[in-house]
Copies of this chain bind each other. A is one copy, B any other.
Amino acid sequence: MANPEFDIKRPTMIGDTADISLQKTIQILRSEGINPTVVMEFSPSNPGTLCGLNEVKTLLEKILPESGSEAWAVEEGNSIQAGEVALRVKSPYASIGLYETAITGILSSSTGWASAAKECVNEAEGTPIYSTGAKNVHPNVSATMDYASIIGGCLSCSTILGARMSGVTPITIMSHSLSLIMGDTVRALQSFDKHTPQDIPRIALVDTHRDEAEEALATARALKDRLRGILIDTSSERGGVTVNLVKEVRARLDLAGFQHVDISISGGLTPAKIKNFIESKSPIQSFGVGSYIASANSNPFTGDIHEIDGRPIAKRGRIPGVTINNRLHRII
């Protein structure tokens, strides 16, 4: 994963998204003339796939003073245990205190999304997964969600910004809208074919107007060898995509000589459903996963002070002093 470019706002603006109690703390300490060097540790509440550290690193580079600050972290994309220290920051409190909310927020959201993606990837046993959940999250974070999906193992995503941030090429498919406006799937596909560069694969969406098998055959007959694949996204009102439907469409395509046409599916996929498709040996070349990743619960991170000016300390319920974790490596 080379060189993601995060859209980090100005630090002062991020400060406004902090808990006001932290702003109050900074203000009181300043009035009292107190600014000790603290060690803060950040840990998740649940196990998962760690994500958001690269974005946090970009933030820390802007806010920490050059001398006297250090940071260690577990690597982006690694699995992490509940309560394990994922990030340790040592810095004067006045520099880090206000950003505790932003740091836990970034890690909580991104780790939640990446973990959900990873669950899907694990069940797919090598069949590629694409993230298509942008339509289910706020546009302010849709690219971040797509980036986290890719950290969690997805091959690509459906937004340009998310793909750019992750250094991949976004996936391009016909939309239901194009098909509806053109009035006919074959005509829509032919327009798509006419106006799209040769290096972008042609994938037909085959559940808009007619029976899936009919539309699959019709689009294959229209584009012949230029058709790379079809996408079945049957609505739940029509029973959704089932193992038997996929096998039948595959059989009817093969019977008509279109063995070269790939089949992708999407629509309410979850790890359990993916597992079922894989176990029943469904002839599927890729899965598109949307709401399962996008609607995933965030994984709450907490930040705790464990050392003040070199003295081990902790609030009740936490163990005082720096916590040993061999998987941490110096990042700043």
Contacts and interface: CB of A to CB of B under 8 A. Distances in A.
Given A18-B160, A105-B135, A251-B321, 15 more contacts: A7-B140, A16-B160, A19-B132, A24-B196, A93-B181, A102-B139, A106-B139, A108-B294, A135-B302, A138-B140, A180-B314, A181-B305, A235-B317, A237-B245, A252-B319
Contacts of A208: 315-316
Interface in A211-244: 211, 213-214, 234-240, 242, 244
Nearest to A244: B237
A21 interface: yes
Interface residues of A, number: 117
Contacts of A330: none
Contact of A209 (B19, B101, B315): B315
A155 interface: no
A329 interface: no
Q: How many copies does the complex hold?
A: 6
Contact of A108 (B31, B137, B177, B239): B137
A27 interface: yes
A247 interface: yes
Contacts of A139: 9, 14, 17, 101-102, 105-106
B172 A20 contact: yes
Contact of A320 (B163, B181, B255): B255
Contacts of A209: 315-316
A213 B318 CA distance: 11
A158 B20 contact: yes
A182 B299 CA distance: 30
The 8 A-B residue pairs whose C-beta atoms are closest, nearest first, are: A239-B239, A235-B317, A237-B244, A237-B317, A109-B138, A102-B139, A140-B140, A251-B319
Given A101-B134, A209-B316, A142 B17 contact: yes
A277 interface: no
A161 interface: yes
Contacts of A24: 172, 174-175, 178, 192, 196
A179 B93 CA distance: 13
Contacts of A248: 237, 316-319
Interface in A1-34: 7, 9, 14, 16-25, 27-29, 31-32, 34
A108 B195 CA distance: 32
A28 B189 CA distance: 10
A34 B108 contact: no
A176 interface: yes
A213 B214 CA distance: 14
Contacts of A31: 191, 194-195
A100 interface: yes
A136 B42 CA distance: 12
